């Protein structure tokens, strides 16, 4: 991709759209985020699928009863984490290259300016809740690996096998295809021409996926969670942006919150969530701030590789309940689920990729 192809497309500059969500979309298409969603409470998640919408409904029960943003984001994130069909977060998440599911999660509470995270934790379906325990029951911010699992078990959490048969199947296919110079897969002489083609047609790529859940409650307090199984097929022990405060998540109670999905390495180097919150502090809307972050990452790489397309997606929410999302996706516009007092809906942000230019 050439840098000239970089622009704001889809919903247009800083103007998102609502599209039908689930059975009962409540928000009208074409509504602008600049004029909409200035009410509280509001909760958003980068997951626009039915699980994301279910998560919003569950979390809304807390917000509608004047509960805290912190409780709401945890309950919402847990719904997505335990979904066995979701291969990007928690239980059922895709494993590392050796077939081990290692999860990352973080939480931040704007009201107390406190944060917690776990990284590369195995055997726990709801790492966001363990991150909350780190935040609330220790004076630390981050625990990693086997010690994070021990910490979870000390609070009564059970160690469980996180690999679903669905995830195992995708991993096994990848292992058999990722090199034509290894010995994974059937013996060469047993693979017929048709079978060889079928095997080689499978998904070779990395899979992306993470969820961010951000909320502002009726009191005006803000909280956020980012939780993920991380990049599929990652090098064992690799930690992404999701558990790193300022990278995959940042919350400032006076301003708003931001979260990231995509290649964590880009997000860590650019401190992207912190950047987005600082942009909002400087007066940018959540939508503009997300777009600014994409632009910022492209600029960072400009001298090294002007054709680089950063695969990140950012979501953000401000204290007034406005929200936005942006990516550099080459396939359509980014979406997220939102729940406001008007109901649940899918919000469509802006893609900054111009396939023509
Ligand atoms: N950001 C996650 C990571 O790098 C992966 C993703 O969002 O797809 O671990």
**Which listed CATH number (3.60.20.30, 3.90.50.10, 3.30.420.40, 3.40.50.10860) goes with 42-83+210-351?**
3.60.20.30
Per the model's pLDDT, the better-predicted residue between 21 and 353 turns out to be 353
Q: Which atom of ligand 1 is nearest to the CA of 263?
A: 4
Which pLDDT value is given to residue 191? 65
Q: What does the alpha-carbon distance between residue 242 and residue 158 come to, in Å, rounded to a whole number?
A: 23
Say yes or no to pLDDT of 315 above 60.
Answer: yes
Say yes or no to pLDDT of 51 above 50.
Answer: yes
Residue 214 backbone dihedrals phi, psi, to 5 degrees = -125, 140
Condensed to tens digits (0 to 9), the pLDDT of residues 185-202 reads 777 677 665 555 554 444
Choosing from 86, 261, 271, 297 the residue with most ligand 1 atoms within 8 A of its CB, the one to mutate for a pocket test is 261
Which pLDDT value is given to residue 356? 55
Say yes or no to pLDDT of 346 above 70.
Answer: yes
> Would you say 199 and 179 are in contact if contact means Cβ atoms under 8 Å apart?
no
Token pair belonging to 150: 């021990």
Ligand 1 within 6 A of CB of 22: no
**Averaged confidence pLDDT in the chain:** 86
List, edge to edge, every strand of the sheet that includes 323-327. Answer: 6-10, 350-353, 323-327, 313-318, 256-261, 249-252
Which pLDDT value is given to residue 353? 74
Which pLDDT value is given to residue 283? 96
Residue among 310, 304, 319 nearest 241 (CA): 310
- Is residue 24 very low, low, confident or very high in pLDDT (cuts 50, 70, 90)? very low
Percent residues over pLDDT 70 in the chain: 82
Among the residue ranges 140-144, 228-232, 304-308, the one predicted with the least confidence is: 304-308
Torsion-angle region of 345 (φ positive above 0: left; ψ -120 to 50: alpha; else: beta)? beta
Tell me the average pLDDT across 68-87.
Answer: 97
Tell me the average pLDDT across 69-90.
Answer: 97
Which pLDDT value is given to residue 35? 33
Tell me the average pLDDT across 80-99.
Answer: 96
Scanning the chain, the segments in alpha helix (DSSP H) are 50-64, 69-81, 127-137, 145-154, 165-177, 193-200, 264-270, 272-281, 286-301
- Is residue 20 very low, low, confident or very high in pLDDT (cuts 50, 70, 90)? very low
Among the residue ranges 147-151, 321-325, 327-331, the one predicted with the least confidence is: 327-331
Say yes or no to pLDDT of 4 above 90.
Answer: no
**Hey, where are the domains in the chain?**
42-83+210-351, 166-200
Q: Which atom of ligand 1 is nearest to the CA of 208?
A: 8
- List the residue whose alpha carbon is closest to atom 9 of ligand 1: 230
Condensed to tens digits (0 to 9), the pLDDT of residues 270-279 reads 999 999 999 9
């Amino acid at each position: 991709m050439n840098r000239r192809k970089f622009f704001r497309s889809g919903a247009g500059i800083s103007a998102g759209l609502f599209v039908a969500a689930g059975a009962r979309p409540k928000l009208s298409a074409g509504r602008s985020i600049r004029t909409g969603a200035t009410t509280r409470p509001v909760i958003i998640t980068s997951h626009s699928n039915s699980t994301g919408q279910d998560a919003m409904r569950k979390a809304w029960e807390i917000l509608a009863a004047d509960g805290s943003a912190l409780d709401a984001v945890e309950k919402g994130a847990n719904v997505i984490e335990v979904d066995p069909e979701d291969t990007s977060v928690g239980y059922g998440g895709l494993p590392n290259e050796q077939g081990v599911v290692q999860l990352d999660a973080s939480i931040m509470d704007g009201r107390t300016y406190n944060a917690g995270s776990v990284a590369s934790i195995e055997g726990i379906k709801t790492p966001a809740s363990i991150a909350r325990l780190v935040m609330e029951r220790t004076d630390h911010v981050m625990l990693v690996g086997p010690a994070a699992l021990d910490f979870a078990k000390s609070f009564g959490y059970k160690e469980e096998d996180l690999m679903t048969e669905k995830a195992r199947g995708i991993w096994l296919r990848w292992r058999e295809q990722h090199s034509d110079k290894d010995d994974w897969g059937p013996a060469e002489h047993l693979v017929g021409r048709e079978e060889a083609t079928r095997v080689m047609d499978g998904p070779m790529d990395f899979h992306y996926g993470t969820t961010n859940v951000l909320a502002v409650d009726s009191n005006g307090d803000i909280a956020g969670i980012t939780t993920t199984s991380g990049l599929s097929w990652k090098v064992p022990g690799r930690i992404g942006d999701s558990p790193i405060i300022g990278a995959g998540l940042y919350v400032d109670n006076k301003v708003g919150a931001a979260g990231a999905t995509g290649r964590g390495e880009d997000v860590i180097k650019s401190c992207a969530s912190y950047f987005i919150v600082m942009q909002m502090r400087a007066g940018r809307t959540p939508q503009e701030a997300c777009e600014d972050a994409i632009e910022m990452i492209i600029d960072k790489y400009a001298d090294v590789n002007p054709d680089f397309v950063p695969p990140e997606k950012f979501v953000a929410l401000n204290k007034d309940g406005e929200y936005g999302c942006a990516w550099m996706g080459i396939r359509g516009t980014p979406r997220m689920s939102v729940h406001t007092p008007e109901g649940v809906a899918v919000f469509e942000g802006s893609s900054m990729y111009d396939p023509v230019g």
